[in-house]
Copies of this chain bind each other. A is one copy, B any other.
Amino acid sequence: MTEEIKKTRQPLAQVVANNLEELIKSQKYNIGDKLPNEFELATELNVGRGTIREAIKLMAARNIVEIRRGTGTFVSETPGISEDPLGLSFIADKKKLSQDLMEMRSIIEPEIARLAAEHATVSEIEQMEALCLAIENLIQNDCNHEELDIELHTLIAKSSRNLVVPSLIPIIQTAISLFIDLTNRHLKDETIKTHAAIVSAIKQGDGTEAKKQMAAHLQYNKTALHIE
């Protein structure tokens, strides 16, 4: 252990955190697994319990593990992806950020919709249809539909089955939140119509149409933001 510290010049807790991280990556511990307790880890890694505690905290800060009080420490469901993995909340220019997020969504999301048309399961499609109806209902009752809107776009993204897509979902989520803030959600009819058209194309397994409808949906949004 001493060699390692000298070489990397990292604090011991960080070295221990790196070692635990490697054990997770090599799948000694899988997603959702409970880690051994502090005492066991301290014995296994030959360091003090305080160091283990500090290492676990460093890993929790990066969402590699999740500390559940009174239960133990578990490998997180999305290890290494923090709440704001892209650091978007640190970008000060919210107007430019909103435009750039929308630009990036226009690049990524139509292709994601195409992949979703190829890979979505029957149960995912049923959920998408239910979300469309729920959003329509909220819009017609003049209620905030942000949360369900994000849920629908997230579900479409996940059903693309591309392993990298879950990491990109914060782009979609942040964009929707900023968009609804900035436009005062006045795109009601277009939202209902274009959401339904996207999901219908996905249901028919028509990737070209799903891509086209998602592009149209985002174009309405861009126009509302006066980007184009």
Interface residues of A (CB under 8 A from B): 9, 11, 13-14, 17, 24-25, 27, 54, 57-59, 61-62, 64, 69, 78-82, 84-93, 96-97, 100-101, 103-104, 107-108, 111, 162-165, 167-168, 171
Contact = CB atoms under 8 A, between A and B. Distances in A.
A87 B167 contact: yes
20 contacts: A17-B61, A24-B90, A25-B89, A27-B92, A58-B58, A61-B61, A62-B82, A64-B90, A78-B87, A81-B86, A82-B82, A82-B85, A86-B168, A88-B164, A91-B163, A93-B163, A97-B164, A100-B164, A103-B162, A164-B171
Contacts of A13: 57
- Most-contacted residue by chain B among A9, A69, A78, A104 (CB, 10 A): A104
Nearest to A58: B61
A89 B97 CA distance: 27
* Interface residues of A, dominant DSSP: helix
Contacts of A107: 107-108, 111
Contact of A100 (B86, B163, B171): B163
A85 B87 contact: yes
A200 to B, nearest CB: 23
A68 to B, nearest CB: 12
A167 B86 contact: yes
Contacts of A58: 57-58, 61
A87 B64 CA distance: 9
A203 B79 CA distance: 40
A101 B162 CA distance: 8
Nearest to A31: B90
Interface centre among A91, A164, A171 (most CB of B within 10 A): A164
Contacts of A162: 100, 103-104
Given A58-B58, A108-B108, A163 B96 contact: yes
Contacts of A167: 85-88, 171
A90 B75 CA distance: 11
Contacts of A164: 86, 88, 97, 100-101, 103-104, 171
A165 B78 CA distance: 22
